Structure 1
Amino acid sequence: MNKDVSKIVTSKGVMLGERVYVNGHYYMRSKSGKKYDVVSPQQVVELITGCKVKQIVYENKADIAG
């Protein structure tokens, strides 16, 4: 199931969850006690804003001017 796993933390070091790769896409796996859930980036944005997300546009690292 997981090819790549890494921690997602805030700038102050609070762990939000783990970054997991499932079926060709990245998700965040959150855990609370024995329960865990996997959420997509779209679901995270929808939970924060309260609005439906039509699409998320990703910027390629090659496009970033250094």
Structure 2
Amino acid sequence: MKVQIDSGRCQGHGRCYTLAPGLFEEDDEGYGRVARDGAVPAGEEDAARLAAANCPERAVDLGEGA
């Protein structure tokens, strides 16, 4: 599974990096960004799904068998 953030939809609520800090981080302006290469390590899949489900703008996308 991989995660990505659509920067055009992100409004900087921060739920992604609050709920899944190992997968997302905050940029200098408070917007979310994907940490590392976006690959979700084993055991972090539920956190990725939680972050995607709680993004008000649906800016977090899951891929590859999400």
The interval holding the TM-score normalised by the smaller chain is under 0.3
User: Larger RCO: Structure 1 or Structure 2 (Cα < 8 Å, ≥ 6 residues apart)?
Assistant: 2
The structure where strand makes up a greater share of residues is 1
TM-score norm. by structure 1 comes to 0.22
TM-score (norm 2): 0.22
**Structure number with bigger Rg:** 1
